[in-house]
Structure 1
Amino acid sequence: MLRQSASFRADGQRERRGIHPAIFYTTFALLLSGNALQGTALLMAPDIARLLGGQNELVITAYEDRLAQMRVEIDRLHSRNYAQAGDINLQLQELSAQQETLLEQHQLVKALVTKADELGLASVSMPDSAVLPELATRNGNPDVAATSASVLQMMDETQEAMSGIASAATERTASIVGELSRLGIRVNLPDTDLDGIGGPLLASLDGADQVSPILEDANAVMSALMRFKAARDSLELAPVHMPIVGNFRQSSGYGNRKDPFTGGRAFHSGLDFAAPTGTAVLSAASGVVSFVGERSGYGKVVEVEHGNGLVTRYAHLSAYLSRKGQQVQIGTPIAKVGSTGRSTGPHLHFEVRRADEPLDPKSFLDTGKRLLAMLN
């Protein structure tokens, strides 16, 4: 009786809509195949947190387990009894549409996660589903409505993931800009206020797709990431990195002090780092070597221009490892520690100057420590 009733419904549909049985079952098979893609998207979305945490092997294992689970549930969907248990075509179509939206959303999130990871935002915490819920059942058959609710939940979580990336990027951009601004360094960020659009005013067309709000959200997140990249890149030119590593100690600070030769009060225009002769001296930021030679009282000197009117000076050197006009990066060896000029022993004298006026290098190095701690 059940089989005859189902046949009568199918015949009824043919009379009303003119759908051939072969077309009906082909369409139904395509919808079921689409659920396999839905399963893949559902499996991936909850693992954004693990992807961002670098736990790739755990993610792969979780995918395999969940794929096996979804295969079992999809096999249930192929059950003839379920296919004949009422008119589920509309529900399946709605689920298919949700699946396509989730797939689009997830692909965008994957791209954003990859970009965030490239920019050093891999430690960002994202919402994470515990385990993909099993496909709900009703009277022993899969429940499409409950599955649809699970899909919508996953869509919400991927939306939260995008928001999380944007929030982290925006927060860190603000931190970098604020720290560097206190040092008088201006950060050039991409202008996100450019929203020029246009075109002739035409009547709307039925069936024409509207611009996806998901795409607009993803563009906003990517904009936040690009601003963060510009802010992070500005650190390359900011002399906030240590000019020496290894066995050293700070032997003198910036400001007035007792002069080691006269015993009277005198102004010290930089920081002194006592270290063995020959210790590598590193560029504190990217820039161009602007001077290599000797200066009165400083002995052998190397100077590097970094933009924003900033110049770093490295003095009392024993040897040069760079030449005038050379492009250098953060950490490029440019000289060796020595005791030339007015010096009591081997050490690096490090200065930060703007408009040929000395600034306190400690403020720059302390800023660098805070920012690097945040970025790491």
Structure 2
Amino acid sequence: MKASTPSTVFGKRKEPHTVIIAHGDEIRHFTVRPWMAAFLGSAVAAIAVGYLLATSYLVLRDDLIGAEAARQARLQQVYEDRISALRTQVDHITSRQLLDQKLVETKVSELIERQSQLNERHGRLAPLLRRAENEIGLAALPENAPAPSEKPDIRAESQAPGNSPVATLASLGADSTQPFSQWPVRTTFLSGQDPWIDKPGNLFGSISESLKTIESDQFVRIANLTDTAYQNAGAIADTLGAAGLPVDSDMGHDDFGKSDVGGPLIPIDDRMIFDAKVKELDEALDALEQVKEEARRLPLANPAPGHTVTSPFGVRSDPMIGTAALHPGMDFRAPVGMEAKATAAGVVVRAGWAGGYGRMVEVDHGNGFATRYAHLSKVLVKVGQKLKAGETVGRTGSSGRSTGPHLHYEIRHNGRAVNPIRFLAVGKKLRSYM
């Protein structure tokens, strides 16, 4: 049989290469196939191309950076020339307007100082106004008393027709430390057309008038509060005195803010005037508070408001036996169980059964004054208990020597019964002041 031979129709066959390495007695060999040789050749070619590209980039980069740096230098030179020209223009305009700028700075400093003083005054007035509101009440102020003024908002002035929105005192605040050179101004300043710089007198005149108005309102408000406090104190004192009720002898109406005056002329500044007015208001409120405290110690409230008086104070026909007898108090028609309330602050000195009074509570109000609440169905306080005006002492009933449910109310001064109607009338008159 004939052996087959390789066909050469499709080209010459490539045999793998064999590499033999001999070292001494050792012989090594390995075979390099065609695809492996192709792969190694391709890798070497890729490395060579990459090396050439990297070298080209490094060479060209320096040229690109140099060109960009030259372009930036040219642009910088152009900008520096423009900035230099603008700076020269600004310096020229600033030199012409230096005096106006100094004037503006001076006036602004004065206005900020005045606004700071107004803020300080407002801080001092705030507690006095709260105290006056508590002692007098806003409803008691005269109709022409001005409302408290707010800090002036100068933006409205600066944005009026013919003006431009520039930096103002309202935007900087009274405690601003920002220098004038850093205040925000419009770019038209460079052309010299800013109305605040060209005509500062108009705006500053408006600001000054606004601050003067606030100062005037403060003085008027203080004066009105002072007069009202003295008038209320005088009215309370006169009402108590006219009713024959005890009141401090130094609290007569003529003593409140009215006296003969005289002395040398000693001019004072606005700060001293303000301090004097504030002190006068404080003294007026002290006087009002003192006379109110005097009035509050007296039993002036109605123990049974809205209820009819069935028997007044004085001589009457006794309801039990029909003979003439002294009635030391007033009887108010009241259903069983109604609350009987203390007519002034005091201390309970009696609480319990008291003969013909039935269940009775007696409250000592000081200065020799005491009140009694009799014929109660239930006593709700104890001896030694401190009471405030309006607190409940018991519930009405018909205990003791009584013909029906009612509240017997007495006022005693130094142990002697006095007519309660006088106290009730005074309390009604003073209700609006208390």
Residue number in structure 2 paired with 1:184:
245
Check whether the contact 1:109–1:161 (CA below 8 A) recurs between aligned residues. no
Report the TM-score when normalising by structure 1: 0.67
Structure 1 gap ranges (5+): 14-82, 194-208
1:100 paired with 2:116, answer: yes
Matches within 5 A, 1:333-348: 333-348=392-407
Q: How far is 1:163 from its partner?
A: 1.2
Residue number in structure 2 paired with 1:64:
none
CA distance in 2, matches of 1:317, 1:277: 8
The letter of the residue matching 1:146 is: S
1:89 paired with 2:108, answer: no
Q: How far is 1:334 from its partner?
A: 1.0
Residue number in structure 2 paired with 1:167:
227
Mark the CA change 1:257 to 1:3 in structure 2 (over 3 Å): closer, same or farther.
farther
Check whether the contact 2:236–2:433 (CA below 8 A) recurs between aligned residues. no
Check whether the contact 1:112–1:162 (CA below 8 A) recurs between aligned residues. no
Mark the CA change 1:210 to 1:242 in structure 2 (over 3 Å): closer, same or farther.
closer
Residue number in structure 2 paired with 1:118:
134
Q: Is the deviation greater in 160-169 or in 259-268?
A: 259-268
Residue number in structure 2 paired with 1:240:
300
Higher relative contact order (CA 8 A, sep 6+): 1
Q: Is the deviation greater in 105-114 or in 154-163?
A: 105-114
Mark the CA change 1:176 to 1:129 in structure 2 (over 3 Å): closer, same or farther.
closer
Check whether the contact 2:373–2:410 (CA below 8 A) recurs between aligned residues. yes
Check whether the contact 1:189–1:230 (CA below 8 A) recurs between aligned residues. no
CA distance in 1, matches of 2:315, 2:345: 30
Mark the CA change 1:154 to 1:130 in structure 2 (over 3 Å): closer, same or farther.
closer
Q: How far is 1:153 from its partner?
A: 1.3
Q: Secondary structure at the match of 1:291?
A: strand
The letter of the residue matching 1:312 is: T
Q: How far is 1:360 from its partner?
A: 0.8
- Return the match for 2:146 from 119, 122, 127: 127
CA distance in 2, matches of 1:129, 1:135: 21
Q: Secondary structure at the match of 1:284?
A: coil
CA distance in 1, matches of 2:103, 2:136: 50
Check whether the contact 1:183–1:364 (CA below 8 A) recurs between aligned residues. no
Residue number in structure 1 paired with 2:273:
213
Structure 2 gap ranges (5+): 1-88, 164-194, 197-202, 258-268
1:149 paired with 2:171, answer: no
Check whether the contact 2:148–2:218 (CA below 8 A) recurs between aligned residues. no
The letter of the residue matching 2:92 is: Q
Q: Secondary structure at the match of 2:138?
A: coil
Q: Secondary structure at the match of 2:276?
A: helix
Q: How far is 1:92 from its partner?
A: 2.1
Q: How far is 1:305 from its partner?
A: 0.6
Q: How far is 1:232 from its partner?
A: 2.3
Q: Secondary structure at the match of 1:242?
A: coil
Q: Report sequence identity in percent.
A: 29
Report the TM-score when normalising by structure 2: 0.59
Check whether the contact 1:289–1:322 (CA below 8 A) recurs between aligned residues. yes
Mark the CA change 1:249 to 1:158 in structure 2 (over 3 Å): closer, same or farther.
same
Q: How far is 1:138 from its partner?
A: 9.1
Q: How far is 1:2 from its partner?
A: 9.2
Q: Is the deviation greater in 96-105 or in 342-351?
A: 96-105
User: Who wins on radius of gyration, i.e. which is larger?
Assistant: 2
Residues 312-333 of structure 1 deviation map (CA, whole Å, 9 limit, x = unaligned):
1111122211111111111111
CA distance in 2, matches of 1:192, 1:258: 47
Residue number in structure 2 paired with 1:4:
92
Q: Secondary structure at the match of 2:210?
A: helix
Residues 268-324 of structure 1 deviation map (CA, whole Å, 9 limit, x = unaligned):
211101111121111111001111233343222211110121011111122211111
Matches within 5 A, 1:243-322: 243-245=303-305, 248-322=307-381
Residues 78-115 of structure 1 deviation map (CA, whole Å, 9 limit, x = unaligned):
xxxxx75x832332232223222222222222222122
Q: How far is 1:160 from its partner?
A: 0.8
Q: Count the aligned residue pairs.
A: 287
CA distance in 1, matches of 2:277, 2:283: 10
CA distance in 1, matches of 2:270, 2:214: 23
Residue number in structure 2 paired with 1:222:
282
CA distance in 1, matches of 2:133, 2:148: 20
Q: How far is 1:234 from its partner?
A: 3.0
Q: What is the root-mean-square deviation of aligned Cα atoms in Å?
A: 3.2
Mark the CA change 1:129 to 1:303 in structure 2 (over 3 Å): closer, same or farther.
closer
Mark the CA change 1:188 to 1:284 in structure 2 (over 3 Å): closer, same or farther.
farther
The letter of the residue matching 2:409 is: F
